[in-house]
């Protein structure tokens, strides 16, 4: 039996990553033929911004003759989709930092990972050319294909196996998700006093600049760093019980980290 003539790309997902990556794939010269989501409204929302993409909400409707399948779904949805698409063929890659490439093996013999290390939100456009893309393939040949694709999207492409991607993802949670949650708490504390987060913008920018130009450990300042218990007790007067618990945990962590320096 002759090999199927393959063309175009299928994107699984309509969330933050898919909404950033699908247009980037199109700009890289690929025709996104279909967008799959369990919600037809969500798949249509993404398909409508692409040139001629079809929105589908059933795996039975996904074409089996695409050249590329990009799975930009939540981690626990990747393997079920690959299993449901057993034997489809083509080149498959997922975008997760915390899942191994091998979960795609049921779908095709050519599979790997295209992991963008960035925070994405549908309401905010990201310049994909500046986003670090970490690639892995099940064979050197497959990885080279994924790398070539990635290089059409970004100028920052690197190899990372599953173990390294897990470290990258964990580090990114500390550097992005946890930090953003701290800003949420800071914003809430200020709003309770009639102020807002914008007053902290110079501080936030300088903190980031110092972390990147110095070692973050050397850049640490504040009452916990210097062991100022009087100030720390006063701070709790303007916090909710949950904020106080977070404050206490982080304070003790910082004190332990720098105990030898005092």
- 63 and 46 in one domain? yes
- 52 and 133 in one domain? yes
**Structure-token pair, residue 259:** 């105990």
- 194 and 246 in one domain? yes
- 149 and 89 in one domain? yes
Q: Structural domain tally of the chain?
A: 2
Residue 1 lies in a domain: no
Q: What distance lies between CA 133 and its chain's CA centroid? A: 10
- 193 and 75 in one domain? no
Tokens 């006093």 found at: 193
- 179 and 148 in one domain? no
Alpha carbon distance 16, 124 (integer Å): 10
Burial of 194 (0-12, 13-18, 19+ CB in 10 A): exposed
- 188 and 98 in one domain? no
The CATH number of whichever domain residue 92 belongs to comes to 3.40.50.720
Residue 4 lies in a domain: no
Q: What is the pTM of this model?
A: 0.92
The per-residue pLDDT for 260 is: 72
Q: What is the pLDDT along the chain (262 residues), one digit of tens a residue?
A: 345 677 899 999 999 999 999 999 999 999 999 999 999 999 999 999 999 999 999 999 999 999 999 999 999 999 999 999 999 999 999 999 999 999 999 999 999 999 999 999 998 999 999 999 999 999 999 999 999 999 999 999 999 999 999 999 999 999 999 999 999 999 999 999 999 999 999 999 999 999 999 999 999 999 999 999 999 999 999 999 999 999 999 999 999 999 877 6
- 42 and 92 in one domain? yes
The per-residue pLDDT for 160 is: 98
Print the domain residue range for 232.
165-261
The CATH number of whichever domain residue 181 belongs to comes to 1.10.1040.20
The per-residue pLDDT for 259 is: 84
Q: What angle do CA 64, 67, 72 make, to 5 degrees?
A: 85
Residue 2 lies in a domain: no
- 3-state DSSP helix/strand/coil percent for the chain, to nearest 5? 55, 15, 30
- 183 and 93 in one domain? no
Residue 3 lies in a domain: no
Residue 196 lies in a domain: yes
* CB 65, CB 7: distance < 8 Å: yes
CA atoms within 13 Å, Cβ hemisphere of 260: 1
- 18 and 76 in one domain? yes
- 152 and 34 in one domain? yes
pLDDT tens per residue across span 233-257: 999 999 999 999 999 999 999 999 9
């Amino acid at each position: 039996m002759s090999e199927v003539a393959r063309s175009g790309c299928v994107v699984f997902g309509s969330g933050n990553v898919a909404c950033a990556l699908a247009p980037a794939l199109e700009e890289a010269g690929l025709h996104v033929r279909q967008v799959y989501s369990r919600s037809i409204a969500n798949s249509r929302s993404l398909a409508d911004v692409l040139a001629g993409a079809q929105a589908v909400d059933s795996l039975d409707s996904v074409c089996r003759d695409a050249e590329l399948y990009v799975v930009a779904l939540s981690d626990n949805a990747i393997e079920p989709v690959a299993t449901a698409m057993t034997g489809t063929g083509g080149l498959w890659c997922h975008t997760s930092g915390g899942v191994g490439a091998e979960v795609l093996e049921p779908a095709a013999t050519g599979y790997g990972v295209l992991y963008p290390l960035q925070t994405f939100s549908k309401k905010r456009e990201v310049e994909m050319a500046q986003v670090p893309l970490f690639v892995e393939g099940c064979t050197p040949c497959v990885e080279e294909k994924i790398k070539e694709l990635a290089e059409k999207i970004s100028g920052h492409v690197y190899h990372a196996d599953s173990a390294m991607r897990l470290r990258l993802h964990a580090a990114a949670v500390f550097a992005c998700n946890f930090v953003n949650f701290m800003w949420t708490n800071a914003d809430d504390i200020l709003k309770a006093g009639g102020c807002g987060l914008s007053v902290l913008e110079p501080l936030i920018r300088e903190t980031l600049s110092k972390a990147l130009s110095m070692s973050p450990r050397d850049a640490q300042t504040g009452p916990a760093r210097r062991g100022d218990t009087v100030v720390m007790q006063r701070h709790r007067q303007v916090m909710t019980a949950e904020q106080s618990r977070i404050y206490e945990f982080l304070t003790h962590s910082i004190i332990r980290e720098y105990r030898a320096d005092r």
